[in-house]
Amino acid sequence: MNALKFNWRTLVVILGIIFLLIYPLLGASSYMRHLFVLFFIWAIVAANWNLLMGYAGINSLGNIGFLAIGGYVSGILAKTFGLSPWLTIPIGGLTTCLLVTVFLGLPALRLSGIYIALLTLIFADSLPSILTQTREITGGAMGLHEIPPFFPGMTKTGAYYVSLTFFLVILYIVYRVIHSSSGLAFVALRDSENFAYCLGVNKFRERLKVFAIASFLTGIAGGVYVHALGDISPTTLGIEPFLLTIAMIELGGVGTFAGPILGAAVIVFGNEFLRLADTLRLTLLGALICLTILFFPGGLMQLVDQVERWVIRLLTKRRDLSKKE
Amino acid sequence: MLEVRNLDSFYGELQVLRQVSLHVDAGEVVALFGPNGHGKSTLLKAISGLHPPTAGSVKFQGEEIAKLPAHKIVERGLVYIPEERHLFPDMTVMENLLLGAYPPRARKRVKSNLEFVFHIFPKLEMRQKQLCSTLSGGEARMVAIARGLMSETGLLLVDEPSIGLSPGMRKAVFEAIAAINRERGITILIVEQEIENALALSNRFYLLKKGQIAFERPTDQVDIAEIEKAYF
């Protein structure tokens, strides 16, 4: 039974990756390739946010801020100083990691629950005003435009494949972290701090580690964002991207690996197709989220698990029947 | 191996432990008896660093550990298994066991420790992929003890392992504890209310009353009447 379960999931992942690899060759429109790039980026953001919120139980509300820092640092270095994006993306990630670990990670060791939420929210909310104060470098409310692409003369297909590579590599890293002893330690600290100490879990190290990993990888996603799309402005830090990303995690399933990725797919593509509904777009998304939370509090992953159980039960029943005959 | 001297412990204003001294030698099984609410669990928590003592010294393998944070104490091989069966419900049995192997020293020996754990608790091998929230009380107890063994333990502090279990399960748990001591030479300090069972597997015992050690005896000179008197 377990083998069946295992095979089924691995198969879906392999088919998914193959599909993503050949999709642009199947004659996808430029618009669809653009949507996929957005999906790759937001899936990275959501997966790392979930690492902090779902696995480590740290109610961070500032993860869009991580994306913005990584994006701005990489964008400014590439545009103003003419550095190669391949250099500026890691620099953006490291800067994000450093800032977040010092300003959020260290204080968060002494804070719990709602206070971490407040601290991280303030951190992200302070960024737009910092950006408008430093108009000369950051472009202020207008934002940065014409940021150099990953390589000169990049097409939409180029952007697609570069973002896809980042998407696969980063999600693989997140997966490995979740299944490492640190991943278990995050969950242990979330569920029962005192008891985690009994097992020798070092809170200081693990808490800083989860902030460092999540912020570094989200900062990298910020770099991918600016070089793939070409611009960034303080609207990225607005309320809509924030709520939509939270919605991806809730919709997909908090504390599951695949959940936020599924959620990102539903929200990114759903949000675009719902543009047909015009002003009703956010209302419809809101209704979808309300329904999910009411009927599947574990998100889409709960639905997937449930369907999987039904199917397995059905299959085993049939097998038993045929044995009897 | 463990040398506790003149330990004082407080919960706020309330003094729970008064000048407690005891020692556990390498390879021994020592039992700690005493009425409920007289400080047995507090003593174990003080030793393991979860509720650090206010005064006194705790020496483990000759080194002072009273001021160390709990995770550092675990790294040295002193492992406390609390009375509450705190398993992480969303993790599988295997994940709980691997979490026990968190200390760097234990990570290197995961494989041989796992083999030993499955040798002591064969049932867990069958249940390794099961979520811990679906285990019975006795199985959960086994996972809690097994997880302690995964930390490359030298001294195991076990807090009331038999509480809330059926008689058959109790017997199994006591047998497992005896086997852990016999086969791996792991030193054990056990707190129990099942006095007869605990006496059967220990070399010495202490009786803790009102936060003080009332007396200490080798198990072969036990006087049940004396223990009963201390309880009532």
Domain ranges of chain A: 32-298
The pLDDT assigned to B132 comes to 87
3-state secondary structure A93-154: HHHHHHHHHHHHHHHHCCCCCHHHHHHHHHHHHHHHHHHHHCHHHHCHHHCECCCCCCCCCC
| Residue type at position A99 | L
| Cβ within 8 Å, pair B99-A185 | yes
User: What is the CB neighbour count within 10 angstroms for residue B116?
Assistant: 19
Question: Which residue does chain B place closest to A196, by CA atoms?
Answer: B71
Q: What is the value of ipTM here, to two decimals? A: 0.77
CA distance A319 to chain B (A): 23
In whole angstroms, give the CA distance from residue B6 to residue B193.
25
- Put simply, whether A194 touches B (Cβ < 8 Å) is yes
Closest CA to A96 of A202, A5, A223: A223
- Put simply, whether A228 touches B (Cβ < 8 Å) is no
Which residues on A lie below 8 Å from B98 (Cβ)?
Answer: 181, 184
Question: Which residue does chain A place closest to B84, by CA atoms?
Answer: A195
Closest CA to A159 of A268, A71, A31, A26: A31
- Distance of CA A71 to CAs A63, A167, A234, Å? 13, 16, 11
| Cβ within 8 Å, pair B49-A185 | no
Question: Which residue does chain A place closest to B46, by CA atoms?
Answer: A198
Residue-range definition of the domain harbouring residue B136:
2-231
The pLDDT assigned to B219 comes to 87
CA distance A161 to chain B (A): 36
pLDDT at A96 over 70: yes
Using DSSP, state whether A77 is helix, strand or coil.
Answer: helix
> What class is the A32-298 domain?
mainly alpha
Q: What is the DSSP string of B20-88?
A: EEEEE-TT-EEEEE--TTSSHHHHHHHHHTSS--SEEEEEETTEE-TTS-HHHHHHTTEEEE-SS----
pLDDT, tens only, B77-110: 999 998 876 788 888 999 999 999 998 888 888 9
Burial class (CB in 10 A: 0-12, 13-18, 19+), A76: buried
What is the Cβ-side half-sphere exposure of residue A55, based on CA atoms within 13 angstroms? 31
- Distance of CA B222 to CAs A324, B187, B218, Å? 62, 21, 7
- Per the prediction, chain B carries an average pLDDT of 90
The pLDDT assigned to B221 comes to 83
DSSP annotation of A232: B
In whole angstroms, give the CA distance from residue B85 to residue A198.
12
Residue A279 has φ and ψ, to the nearest 5°, of -70, -15
Q: What is the DSSP string of chain B?
A: -EEEEEEEEEETTEEEEEEEEEEE-TT-EEEEE--TTSSHHHHHHHHHTSS--SEEEEEETTEE-TTS-HHHHHHTTEEEE-SS----TTSBHHHHHHHHT-SHHHHTTHHHHHHHHHHH-HHHHHTTTSBGGGS-HHHHHHHHHHHHHTTT-SEEEEE-TTTT--HHHHHHHHHHHHHHHHHH--EEEEE-S-HHHHHHH-SEEEEEETTEEEEEEEGGG--HHHHHHHH-
- What are residue B217's DSSP bridge partners? B205
Which residues on B lie below 8 Å from A200 (Cβ)?
Answer: 70-71, 74-75, 102-103, 106, 151
The pLDDT assigned to A77 comes to 95
- Percent of chain A at pLDDT exceeding 90: 61
CA distance A107 to chain B (A): 20
DSSP annotation of A24: G
Which residues on A lie below 8 Å from B151 (Cβ)?
Answer: 199-200
pLDDT, tens only, A118-127: 999 999 999 9
Confidence band (pLDDT; 50, 70, 90) for A269? very high
CA distance A86 to chain B (A): 35
| A204-213: burial string, b at 16+ Cβ within 10 Å, e else | eebbbbbbbb
In whole angstroms, give the CA distance from residue A295 to residue B166.
38
In whole angstroms, give the CA distance from residue B165 to residue B194.
11
Q: Which residue from A191, A199, A203 is facing B74, i.e. has the nearest CB?
A: A199
> If residue A28 lies in a helix (H) or strand (E), which one and from where to where?
none
Which residues, 6 or more positions from B16, have their beta carbon under 8 angstroms from its beta carbon?
A: B9, B10, B39, B42, B211
pLDDT, tens only, A272-291: 888 887 788 888 888 888 88
CB contact at 8 A, B194 and B170: yes
Which residues, 6 or more positions from A285, have their beta carbon under 8 angstroms from its beta carbon?
A: A244, A247, A267, A270, A271, A274
To test the contact with chain A by mutation, choose from B71, B86, B133 the residue with the greatest count of A C-beta atoms within 10 A, namely B71
In whole angstroms, give the CA distance from residue A212 to residue A285.
32
pLDDT, tens only, A62-92: 999 999 999 999 999 999 999 999 999 999 9
| Cβ within 8 Å, pair A191-B50 | no
The pLDDT assigned to A110 comes to 85
pLDDT, tens only, A172-227: 999 999 999 899 999 999 988 888 888 889 988 999 999 999 999 999 999 999 99
Q: In this structure, are strands B2-11 and B55-60 parallel, antiparallel, or unpaired? A: antiparallel
pLDDT at A2 over 60: no
Q: Which residue from A187, A194, A202 is facing B88, i.e. has the nearest CB?
A: A187
Q: Considering its fold, how many domains does chain B have in total?
A: 1
- Percent of chain B at pLDDT exceeding 70: 100
Which CATH number belongs to the domain containing residue B92 in this structure?
3.40.50.300
- Tell me if the pTM is above 0.90: no
Which residues on B lie below 8 Å from A191 (Cβ)?
Answer: 88-90
In whole angstroms, give the CA distance from residue B136 to residue A298.
25
| Cβ within 8 Å, pair A198-B107 | no
Q: In this structure, are strands B29-33 and B187-191 parallel, antiparallel, or unpaired? A: parallel
- Put simply, whether A281 touches B (Cβ < 8 Å) is no
- Per the prediction, chain A carries an average pLDDT of 90
Which residues on B lie below 8 Å from A255 (Cβ)?
Answer: 90
The pLDDT assigned to A4 comes to 57
In whole angstroms, give the CA distance from residue A94 to residue A87.
11
| Cβ within 8 Å, pair A2-B89 | no
In whole angstroms, give the CA distance from residue B27 to residue A151.
67
- Percent of chain B at pLDDT exceeding 90: 56
- Put simply, whether A1 touches B (Cβ < 8 Å) is no
To test the contact with chain A by mutation, choose from B76, B86, B134 the residue with the greatest count of A C-beta atoms within 10 A, namely B86
Dig out the tokens for B191 from the structure: 């707190």
pLDDT, tens only, B124-156: 999 988 988 888 888 899 999 999 999 988 999
CB contact at 8 A, A196 and A189: yes
